[in-house]
Amino acid sequence: MQAVLLILLGLLAVTAVWLALGAVKTRKLAAEARASVPQAGERMDVSGGAIHYLDLGPREAPVLVMIHGLGGQMHHFTYAMTGLLEDDFRLIVIDRPGCGYSLRDDEAQAALTEQARMIWEMLDRLGVTRPVLVGHSLGGAVSLGMAVQRPAETGALALLAPLTHPNTAASPAFDGLNQPNRRMRHLLARTWAVPMARRTAIETLTEVFRPEPWPADFLDRGGASLGLRPEAFLASVEDYMASAGIGAIAAQYDSALTMPGGVLFGSGDALLDPQEQGAAMTAHGLEFTALPDRGHMIPITAPADCATFVRRIAGRLG
C-alpha cells in the first residue's frame, strides 16, 4: 500500500512539473507574440466586452465592415485587402469579440448572435449606417447573424469563403479545437496548448491554405503569431463550439436576407465546401462565384479578386 502511494505521489509530482514547464513556455511564447504583433487600433467598450478596430479611409464614403474568421484577427484583411479599398471606402476592420485584442466577458459572448449584437453596438456608436458586411469564414457566419438581426440596416453582404450552414465535414485542422470540457480547455490554454500549436504551426498553416502555399510573412504581417497566446486558444475553442449556432441563423435566411449580396469561394477550399456553404446561398438571393484553384484564405492569397468582388457587391447599394 505504501509503495502504491509513493508511486502515485511520484506521478503527481512529475505531472505538476510537466504542467509548470508548459506554463513557462506558454508565457514566453505569448509575450513574444504580443511583441511581434502589437495592438494596431482603438478599443471600444461594448456590452459583454470590448472591440479592437481600425477606422480607415474617407469618412463620407460607403462603409465596409471587415470581419475575420476562426482563429484570426484584423490582419487577415490589413495584410493586403485594405490597401486596395481604403481610397474609396470607409473601412471598419475589427478583431471579433474575444479575438486579437478584442475582449469578451465570458464564453456566452462567443455565440454568433452575441458577436453580431456586440458589433452592431460598436457601429451604432460610430454612427455607421447601412454598412456592407465583408465576412471571411466564421466572420461570414457572424455577418449573416448581423444581417438577420437587422435586415433593414444591413446595406449588403460580401462574404468570402463563409460558413453559411452547419459544416457536415469538418477539416482535421479543427481537431485540436474540439474541447467541450471547459476545465480541460482552460488547463490546456495555461500549459501545453500554445507550445503544441507552435510545434505544429507549419502543418496547420499548410492545411488551412491548401492547395495554395502560405506566405512566409504570415506570422507577423498576417498576425498569425497572436494565435500563440492562451486567450487566443480559448477564443478559438469557444468560437468553434459556438459555430453550430449557424443552423439557427440559416433558418431565417428566407425572410431576412432582403439585401443585395454575394459569396466568393476558392474552388479548392479545404476547410469549407464551396457548394454546401457557397452555391447553396443562391437559393436565398445571393450570387455565387468560385475562383479556380484557390483555397480558403483568399483574403491573403487573392486580395485583388476579393477586392473586385467587394466593389461589385458594394456597387449594388445604389
Global confidence as pTM: 0.94
* Mean pLDDT for the stretch of residues 129-158: 98
Per-residue pLDDT at 195 exceeds 90: no
Q: What is the tens place of the pLDDT at every residue in 114-143? A: 999 999 999 999 999 999 999 999 999 999
Report CA-CA distances (Å) from 12 to 7, 25, 100, 132, 162.
9, 20, 35, 55, 45
Residue reference for cell 453559411? 164
Q: Which three cell numbers stand for residue 168?
A: 457536415
Query: Within 10 Å of residue 200's Cβ, how many Cβ atoms?
Result: 12
Angle subtended by helix axes 182-190 and 2-36, to nearest 10: 70
Q: Say what percent of the chain tops pLDDT 90.
A: 72
d(CA 144, CA 286): 12
Element (H, E) at 224: none
Report CA-CA distances (Å) from 162 to 55, 67, 235, 275, 316.
23, 11, 19, 11, 20
**Backbone dihedral angles phi then psi of residue 223, each to the nearest 5 degrees:** 75, 5
Q: What is the pLDDT of residue 219?
A: 87
Higher pLDDT residue, 172 or 269? 269
Query: Most confidently modeled of 30-44, 66-80, 228-242?
Result: 66-80
Q: What is the tens place of the pLDDT at every residue in 210-258? A: 999 999 999 889 988 888 898 998 999 999 999 999 999 999 999 999 9
d(CA 182, CA 178): 11
d(CA 230, CA 42): 22
Within 13 A of 99's CA, how many CA atoms are on the CB side?
29
Q: Which three cell numbers stand for residue 252?
A: 431565417
What structural domains and CATH numbers belong to the chain? 39-169+243-317 (3.40.50.1820)
DSSP bridge partners of 42: 53
The one-character DSSP state at 308 is: H
Element (H, E) at 43: strand 42-46
